[in-house]
Structure 1
């Protein structure tokens, strides 16, 4: 039940935060903008997320997951509801910025909830399932919002994520209570549910290194998602629909990879050793993708699919490692920092790769991405969930 509520809240938040690009034509036409101007507005929720996410982490640790998620979802629904009252691009931009600022803590708060409810032996799988809410939410938005916008326009389509966020509030309030701590012989809480009151986990290097690994592996992940379709079209002469089908085909095995690595880490008690191995394999695969298709064009699609799948598999384990290293008293802040740094990596990667493409061509994106995967191998600490 806790896992289902966490996923429902996360899906509602994702559709609200990242649904605007799927209704970009209607946004452009509704307010008389160019495509470039509408695209800038579509990026404002992510910018709002960056502005407030670290503060939300403090709120999570101070007031708990249930209250923070409920407040965030209610504010998100209210912000999107304001779209009906504003006129012109500036007003819409302000509302979208506000929606992003309000919607930031659901990912971190639901991750902290997983840490509280699930024991170490099952937490990797649980976090992997919870992390699948992001591609699920994006897929749902891609499926529903364009058709809704065709029928009801931009405003009507954006009311759907507003309703989803509002509908999630009572679910969170009723069903996401923190677990009751188990009492030891002295009457004090014990076990995974016990509140860990200790100094800052940022005094050591382990947590910083996990954050760094996530940022480093975010580069090949975003680079592949951004340029895979263009690579097949421009370098191998594919049509855009067929190239898009190749990219879509990687989503399911990518999600399954997160679950399998979660199960593996639960059995071994080590979260980051599989991430280190995954980074090494990703580095080798990206180098092959850079070099092999020039001589053997038929290798492009299987190598691209393999790299796409590998790039998606690390997220659940790194989030689990962050939560466990931080402990319950710091998990909200630490997961917020994790989300914030990943957002920075997501924002900067297309800019970096645009420079790479200009200077060395599109296939060089894969070689540069391999360098980041190699750096992740060196940066990954060895963390044990049962130590």
Structure 2
């Protein structure tokens, strides 16, 4: 395999500032995307929407999100990440703020598309930044901490959005989240910088490295299967729990436990992989547990068990995330880490766009949530099969 020409990484203390900013980027990107699920039971009747349309709002976000993945990755590899990340958060914040003024499904749908367009640069640019600043022996820890912000956003959304809705209504909840996201985008612009002047070559070289790599493609497709269950769960848990007879507060509490498990797990899993290696097999082990745990979670009826099983569900689901991102980044090398992660996230987010819509249709057709968990459990089973032939030693550096 072609080796990266990037120089050795100089380990300096400012890498922890960079990591903090990347965590902030991820945190706010996931808060804006998951501000919607806790508000589904409130906004759907207010705007006379159907549940399939509610799911389509999440699909709309990911429609915009996947469009910018590959272009954003190329731009981050060529020109750096600072301006790209700042603009991303500002666009997300403005579009989320504007959700407070929608009066019908169509307006909300297109605003969610714009929110997704703004968020599309975050994953690839953050991965590029950590590949620049952190040496291989610290990447599990760094990526684990950053990807813990995925669940951090879910936790905060479930914890903060319901009270915002109570205090200010659903319009005030969108306004508050949007405003804070814009402020964070401005801070990102002033605090983020690059550790190196190394950039990728021409885009055709990058496409050849990324799309000609069998291991990278199979890992990306497996990531599609992981995101299928992760984002489907995060989107529909609140509505499912309300269907069981609990209130919005209790539903948000259960989702908070799911997110808390996902907050802790990537940091431990990433650190462990730095110590013992075997990122591929840690990832596969997580998928083996996730599939039956999805069905078990969906079968629970009581608040204590929904919370406990939801916590375990979050632990094993999100423990898989850092290894997926690190393997993809290292298959491409530092020179093309953003392009590789943009391309792979394109595959990932197709699941995030399709799954909420399919689940919403199943609910509309059957009037129950009986098929929801079977649909989502199929994802990790296929993901295991796709990962078996992957050789994680085929690194570009």
Q: For residue 280 of structure 2, what is the aligned residue in structure 1?
A: 272
Give the counterpart of 1:207 among 216, 223, 228.
216
- In the alignment, what sits opposite 2:70? 54
Counterparts of 1:301 and 1:13 in 2: how far apart (Å)?
25
Shift of 1:118: 0.8
Q: Structure 2 matches for 1:237-252, cutoff 5 A? A: 248-252=256-260
Q: Structure 1 length normalisation: TM-score?
A: 0.76
Q: By how many angstroms is 1:203 displaced?
A: 1.9
**Structure-1 residue corresponding to 2:346:** 340
Whether the 8 Å contact between 1:76 and 1:162 is mirrored in structure 2 is yes
Q: 1:227–1:94: structure 2 CA closer, same or farther, 3 Å change rule?
A: closer
Is 1:4 matched with 2:20?
Answer: yes
Pair 1:112 & 2:128 matched:
yes
* SS class of match (2:144): helix
Partner deviation per Cα, 1:9-50 (whole Å, 9 max, x = no partner): 2222222223123233553466x4235376156322232213
Following the alignment from structure 1 to structure 2, what is the Cα–Cα distance between the partners of residues 328 and 138?
29
- Equivalent position of 1:76 in the other structure: 92
Aligned partners of 1:79 and 1:233: how far apart in 2? 28
Q: Is the 8 A contact 1:229 1:247 kept in 2?
A: yes
Aligned 8 A contact 2:100 2:171 in 1 = yes
What is the rounded CA distance, in whole Å, between the counterparts of 2:295 and 2:51 in structure 1?
35
Cα deviation, 1:64-121, whole Å, max 9, x if unaligned, reads 1111001112222333444577665433433232122122211221121111111111
Seen in structure 2, the aligned counterparts of structure 1 residues 267 and 7 have a Cα distance that, compared at 3 Å, is same
Q: List runs of 5+ in structure 1 lacking aligned partners.
A: 182-193, 294-298
Q: Alpha-carbon deviation of 1:173?
A: 1.7
TM-score by length of 2: 0.75
Shift of 1:128: 0.8
The SS at the match of 1:329 is: helix
- With over 3 angstroms needed to count, the CA separation of the structure-2 counterparts of 1:252 and 1:157, relative to structure 1, is closer
| Structure 1 CA distance for aligned equivalents of residues 252 and 172 of structure 2 | 27
Q: Matched residues in 2 for 1:77 and 1:366: separation? A: 30
- Superposition pairs of residues 1-387 of structure 1, within 5 angstroms: 1-28=17-44, 32-36=47-51, 39=54, 42-43=57-58, 44-83=60-99, 88-180=104-196, 195=199, 200-221=209-230, 248-280=256-288, 282=290, 306=312, 308-349=314-355, 368=378, 371-383=381-393
Residue pair 2:82, 2:193 contacting (<8 A) in 1 also: yes
How far residue 381 of structure 1 moved from its aligned partner, in angstroms, is 2.8
Q: Distance in 1 between matches of 2:294 and 2:184?
A: 44
8 Å Cα contact 1:221/1:311 also seen in 2: yes
Q: CA deviation at 1:372?
A: 2.1
Separation (CA, whole Å) in 2 of partners of 1:164 and 1:230: 26
Equivalent residue, structure 2, for 1:296: none
CA offset digits 1:131-178 (Å, max 9, x no partner)? 011111122122222222333233322122221221112321221101
Mapped partners of 2:106, 2:260: distance in 1: 38
In structure 1, the residue matched to 2:3 is none
**Structural RMSD (CA):** 4.1
Aligned residues: 366
Judged with a 3 Å threshold, the aligned counterparts in structure 2 of structure 1 residues 15 and 308 are, in CA distance, closer, same or farther, namely closer
Q: Deviations over 1:239-270 (max 9, x none)?
A: 78889866654543443332222122222454
C-alpha distance in 1, partners of 2:212/2:280?
19
Q: Distance in 2 between matches of 1:90 and 1:289?
A: 36
Aligned partners of 2:98 and 2:381: how far apart in 1? Answer: 45
